[in-house]
């Protein structure tokens, strides 16, 4: 972990970003690690006060509340963003799910999740009044088991607008849910020599221009018919045809031309529901309909990632109305996820034959986060915590003027007695 974010690296970026102060009352490297591992500490809310407790426990240092709060600045946010960009490259661990996928540069999943923020964060407008909502868009690289892209927007921004096309698509396979369904997008991926798999919309009714497989017996011919007209008549286990799709290209000047593309449409029959799971793709025939359906199930990887961020690392538990701090905490949460995955990669390398499911790993990682941070503090020359002093300092009433319930009652009976 110390090699992932070297002290010189953290301090160097901190100086560039002006995130350090001349009077170093706070160790910037330990502050970064307290934010990263503080997200994993079991039972903590994601408030600045909770991160202060985590920091003080690890470093055995008392920091004034105002001094700690003053460090949560746009400069600290920028420092964490730079470290996240660094970590995205460092934690990449090439992985082959199946030999056939090695023909792609990467297999990637684009998706987004929405989460609530403090209602006073007007910069993150939500779809409902008196609320604020953020949307985290990510492109998850299944091949390298890391994030390839991410962006934080308000809830109202359509997620598909964050996916950019271009020559970076070349040789990569993308898995999309229906939020990214667009024939124009699929055509651009194909034109850039990329590949895609998406669920077919339920109302999509392409004209079938050819069948890609021969079926035994007296199979119904689908050529020159429309897909929806034939589905109820079919009993075959799989569908594999070429469909014709019409769409509008982007508007240029006052003109917006129509276009027609041909893509492969495959279906796998679900015996339980007696219908087909249908997909549209440009993958070649060497991938069977069953393999394409299995490939699409990899999308669950990004759903698990979002669930891990929310349920394990408290993505929806930010107690701040400050936009810069909210962005800072989202970045810290992503760093927590990447550090967790980096440690997981070490264990997988040590024991390659042992399965470590990501969610189970995250559940195990949370309770040990504080001891791990304590070990890091020792490695960075901080003394071990003085536990009696730590408990006394944290448990006592911080303000003398704030009375406990017992003292308030006693004062009511003895108003002239100073509590």
pLDDT at 261: 94
pLDDT at 125: 83
User: Is the per-residue pLDDT at 42 higher than 70?
Assistant: no
User: Is the per-residue pLDDT at 225 higher than 80?
Assistant: yes
Place of tokens 């890609």: 212
For the chain, percent of residues with pLDDT exceeding 70: 93
In this predicted structure, which of 148-162, 243-257, 386-400 has the lowest mean pLDDT?
A: 386-400
User: Is the per-residue pLDDT at 176 higher than 70?
Assistant: yes
Residue 321 and residue 120 in contact, taking contact as beta carbons nearer than 8 Å: yes
User: Is the per-residue pLDDT at 130 higher than 80?
Assistant: no
pLDDT at 402: 75
pLDDT at 127: 82
Structure confidence by residue, pLDDT tens digits, 310-349: 888 877 767 777 888 888 988 998 999 889 888 888 898 8
pLDDT at 9: 93
Q: What average pLDDT score do residues 267-287 get?
A: 92
pLDDT at 206: 95
Q: What average pLDDT score do residues 388-393 get?
A: 74
**C-alpha count within 13 angstroms, C-beta hemisphere, residue 3:** 5
Q: What average pLDDT score do residues 160-180 get?
A: 94
Which run of H or E residues covers position 328? helix 323-350
Exposed/middle/buried for residue 214 (C-beta within 10 Å: 0-12, 13-18, 19+): exposed
Exposed/middle/buried for residue 13 (C-beta within 10 Å: 0-12, 13-18, 19+): buried
pLDDT at 178: 93
CA 404 to chain CA centroid, nearest Å: 43
> pLDDT band at residue 417, thresholds of 50, 70 and 90?
low
pLDDT at 308: 87
Residue 310 and residue 333 in contact, taking contact as beta carbons nearer than 8 Å: no
For the chain, percent of residues with pLDDT exceeding 90: 40
**Most confident segment among 34-48, 77-91, 285-299, 348-362:** 285-299
pLDDT at 419: 55
> pLDDT band at residue 43, thresholds of 50, 70 and 90?
low
pLDDT at 345: 85
CA distance 415 to 409: 10
User: Is the per-residue pLDDT at 218 higher than 80?
Assistant: no
Whole-prediction pTM value?
0.82
User: Is the per-residue pLDDT at 371 higher than 60?
Assistant: yes
> pLDDT band at residue 44, thresholds of 50, 70 and 90?
low
Query: How many angstroms separate the Cα of 354 from the Cα of each of 250, 348, 351, 357?
Result: 49, 7, 6, 10
In this predicted structure, which of 4-8, 28-32, 209-213, 321-325 has the lowest mean pLDDT?
A: 321-325
Structure confidence by residue, pLDDT tens digits, 63-94: 888 889 999 999 999 999 999 988 887 777 66
Report the candidate in 158, 201, 179 with the shortest Cα–Cα distance to residue 299: 179
Q: What average pLDDT score do residues 175-179 get?
A: 94
> pLDDT band at residue 418, thresholds of 50, 70 and 90?
low
> pLDDT band at residue 29, thresholds of 50, 70 and 90?
very high
pLDDT at 216: 67
pLDDT at 181: 95
- Determine how many CB atoms are found less than 10 A away from the CB of residue 252: 8
């Amino acid at each position: 972990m110390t090699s992932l974010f070297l002290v010189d690296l953290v301090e160097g970026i901190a100086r560039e970003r002006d995130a350090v102060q001349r009077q170093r009352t706070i160790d910037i490297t330990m502050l970064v690690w307290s934010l990263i591992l503080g997200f994993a500490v079991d039972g903590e809310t994601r408030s600045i006060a909770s991160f202060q407790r985590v920091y003080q426990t690890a470093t055995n240092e008392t920091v004034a509340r105002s001094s700690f709060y003053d460090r949560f600045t746009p400069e600290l946010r920028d420092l964490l963003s730079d470290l996240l960009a660094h970590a995205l490259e460092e934690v990449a661990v090439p992985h082959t799910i199946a030999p056939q996928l090695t023909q792609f540069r990467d297999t990637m999943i684009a998706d987004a999740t929405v989460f609530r923020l403090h209602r006073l964060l007007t910069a993150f407008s939500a779809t409902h009044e008196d609320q604020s909502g953020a949307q985290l868009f990510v492109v998850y690289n299944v091949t390298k088991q890391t994030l390839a892209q991410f962006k934080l927007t308000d809830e109202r921004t359509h997620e598909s607008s964050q996916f950019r096309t271009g020559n970076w698509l070349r040789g990569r396979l993308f898995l999309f849910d229906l939020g990214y369904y667009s024939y124009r997008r699929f055509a651009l991926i194909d034109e850039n020599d990329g590949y895609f798999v998406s669920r077919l919309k339920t109302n999509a009714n392409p004209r079938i221009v050819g069948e890609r497989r021969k079926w035994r017996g007296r199979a119904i011919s689908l050529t020159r018919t429309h897909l929806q007209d034939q589905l109820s008549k079919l009993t075959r286990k799989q569908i594999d045809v070429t469909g014709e799709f019409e769409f509008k290209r982007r508007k240029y000047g006052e003109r917006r031309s129509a276009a027609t593309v041909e893509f492969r449409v495959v279906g796998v029959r679900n015996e339980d529901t007696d219908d087909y799971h249908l997909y549209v793709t440009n993958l070649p025939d060497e991938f069977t309909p069953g393999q394409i359906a299995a490939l699409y199930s990899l999308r669950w990887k990004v759903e698990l990632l979002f669930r891990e961020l929310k349920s394990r690392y408290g993505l929806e538990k930010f107690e701040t109305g400050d936009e810069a701090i909210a962005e800072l905490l989202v970045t810290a949460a992503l760093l927590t996820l990447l550090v967790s995955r980096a440690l997981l990669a070490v264990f997988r390398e040590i024991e390659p034959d042992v399965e470590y499911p990501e969610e189970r790993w995250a559940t195990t990682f949370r309770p040990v986060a504080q001891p791990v941070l304590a070990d890091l503090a020792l490695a960075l020359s901080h003394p071990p915590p003085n536990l009696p002093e730590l408990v006394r300092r944290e448990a006592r009433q911080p303000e003398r003027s704030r009375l406990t319930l017992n003292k308030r009652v006693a004062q009511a009976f003895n108003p002239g007695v100073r509590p």
